[in-house]
Amino acid sequence: MDCHSSQPSRRDFLRGALATGASLTLTAGLSSCASRGDAPQTVGVDQWRQFRGATLNFISENTAPTAAIAADLSPFTDLTGINVNIVTLELTALVQRVALDLASGRAQYQVIYADPYQVLAPYQRGLVDLRTLQADRNLPDLPGGVGDFIPTQLDAAGRFVEPGPIYALPYDAPTMIWQYRRDLFDKYRDRMANDLGFDPTPGGDRTWEEYYGIAQWFNKNAKADVLYGTGHQARQHDSLMNDFSNVLWSYGGDYFDNGRQVGRMGSRDPGPSRLDSAAAIAGAEFYQRLLAIADPGSTTWDWDGVGAAFRGGRLAMCPNWHEFAASNEQVLPGKVDYAPLPKGPAGTANMYGGTGVGISANTLSHERGAAWLFLVWATSPQTQLTNLKSKAGGGTPTRTSVYELPEVRAAEKRPSTMPNMLTAAAVRQAWQPDKIGLRPKIPMWNECNTAIFTQLSRMLTERVSPEEAMRSMKERVDRIVARGWVA
């Protein structure tokens, strides 16, 4: 019998863990709901001090805001008297660990970095509806309320299917944009414009065909300054799906019908895949052609690899997550600039990779309250501002009010003490509802994602035709979706 009857069964959780490739050994702790003590609570003290002496465990992907918070937890501990242990893992390992912890009926990790696609969608019933804590008068309110979060991000990172419940608060907001060597574009702009017949200045009005032309021009004409015009995160990995999706959407292709809704709110049954549509195949054909002139290392790189190649001077430009700006500015200060990704026949699309933080439904009452204090603090405007300034982190705010602060506005221009804010003009455009790229938020996404990037890799490295790759992708995705999620 499950400890929490409203949650998915252990079988559901373990099935999800196995889908990510975990090797499982079931222990007594996993197969029984052993009793444990709740966190301490002191009645009649300040709301922020009522759980002093408690210890929380926060499991997170190794992201910019977590790095900044981990570098200095003293403000939270001083405020609350609560100790926080932070465990950071690569995302696949995190998903496996979270699945096992939710299945155990015991919250080893009270606070969870709830990736929308690999944690929130499959395990939504294992997370607390945060509205219950926001409504508790014995607990602090969210400063600014949920209305201060960027609305698209609150839906994408915090909700699943139903518009009411909120299972996570937006915590980070990495978004793919066009990153380019401004110094090289300044040096060669007139020559490029004359040779190519258009203004090569990067921006959302440039087309992917023009991006291709610019990349090819650098390949042929600027070897003294840079080896390749473009590079990509095209390793057989989640990074390849992200990189390709920007092109897919801009050409009018999509993973499922009603793609924007499936990406923003999610779906338990998205219906048949549309990856074999003429628009999707056209996008794949262009992507294969673009990668053929990109740095050959692209098929071995994820986002870190292409980021390192760009900072190392190999590339004139690349699509990558905007939060790489902080490291770009350390290595190439003043030489890099940022723009929305190019457009295709259907417009521009910029992949959003943001995630929220949630609370395990396995938590006991006082643990849950203590975890809420951490969520309120970690996503507060003040903490987000501190993260922006952190040399250890540099995460991007998810709250509208932070972007309106005069010092943050000023940091959008050089010299800047908040280098990620140099991308602000680009990401503001990228976050517009008609430009943000939202992959499908469905419970079976992890399996679908693997099928997608596996077939894309075959297209890039084994000379499989785009049409064959996309049709094979559709067949695999349809089989996965048809099986459903509930075992």
Model confidence over 12-44: pLDDT tens digits?
444 454 444 443 322 223 333 335 789 999 988
pLDDT at 461: 96
pLDDT at 392: 78
Instruction: Flag whether pLDDT at 58 surpasses 90.
Output: yes
pLDDT at 441: 98
Residues 437 and 245: their CA atoms lie apart, in Å, by: 8
For strands 436-437 and 350-351, give the pairing.
Answer: parallel
Domain ranges, ordered by start, for the chain? 10-174+353-404, 176-347+434-483
Q: What is the pLDDT of residues 96-145, one digit of tens each?
A: 999 999 999 999 999 999 999 999 999 999 999 999 999 999 999 999 99
Q: If residue 387 lies in a helix (H) or strand (E), which one and from where to where?
A: helix 381-389
pLDDT at 138: 96
For strands 169-172 and 355-359, give the pairing.
Answer: antiparallel
Residues 291 and 32: their CA atoms lie apart, in Å, by: 51
Candidates 2.40.50.140, 3.40.50.720, 3.40.190.10, 3.30.365.10; CATH matching 176-347+434-483: 3.40.190.10
- Least confident range from 7-16, 151-160, 216-225, 306-315: namely 7-16
Q: How far is CA 141 from the centre of its chain?
A: 26
For strands 347-348 and 343-344, give the pairing.
Answer: antiparallel
CB atoms within 10 A of CB 222: 19
Question: Span 160-176, mean pLDDT?
Answer: 97
Q: What is the pLDDT of residues 456-485, one digit of tens each?
A: 999 999 989 999 999 999 999 999 999 986
Instruction: Flag whether pLDDT at 407 surpasses 90.
Output: yes
Residue 49 corresponds to which amino acid?
R
- Measured in degrees and rounded to the nearest 5, phi and psi for residue 307 equal -65, -45
pLDDT at 463: 87
Q: Does residue 443 have a cis peptide bond before it, meaning omega lies within 30 degrees of 0?
A: no
Residue 311 corresponds to which amino acid?
R
Given the structure tokens 């990790």, which residue do they identify?
109
Q: How far is CA 240 from the centre of its chain?
A: 14
Q: What is the pLDDT of residues 357-398, one digit of tens each?
A: 999 999 999 999 999 999 999 999 999 999 999 887 668 899
State the chain's mean pLDDT as an integer.
92
Q: Which among 113, 130, 125 is positioned nearest to 63, based on CA atoms?
A: 113
Torsion of Cα atoms, 75 then 139 then 378 then 96, to 10°: 120
State the angle between helix axes of 278-293 and 466-483 in degrees (0 to 180), rounded to the nearest 10: 120
CA angle 279, 282, 286 (to 5 degrees): 140
pLDDT at 486: 55
Residue 42 corresponds to which amino acid?
T
Q: If residue 57 lies in a helix (H) or strand (E), which one and from where to where?
A: strand 55-61
Instruction: Flag whether pLDDT at 446 surpasses 90.
Output: yes
pLDDT at 26: 29
Q: What is the CATH number of domain 10-174+353-404?
A: 3.40.190.10
Question: Span 433-441, mean pLDDT?
Answer: 97
Instruction: Flag whether pLDDT at 282 surpasses 90.
Output: yes
Q: How does DSSP assign 307-375, residue by residue?
A: HHHHHTT-EEEEEEEGGGHHHHHHHSTTSEEEEPPPEETTEE-EEB--EEEEEBTT--HHHHHHHHHHH
Fold match between 10-174+353-404 and 176-347+434-483?
Answer: yes
Given the structure tokens 């060597």, which residue do they identify?
181
Who has greater pLDDT, 21 or 330? 330
**Is the CB of residue 32 less than 8 Å from the CB of residue 2?**
no
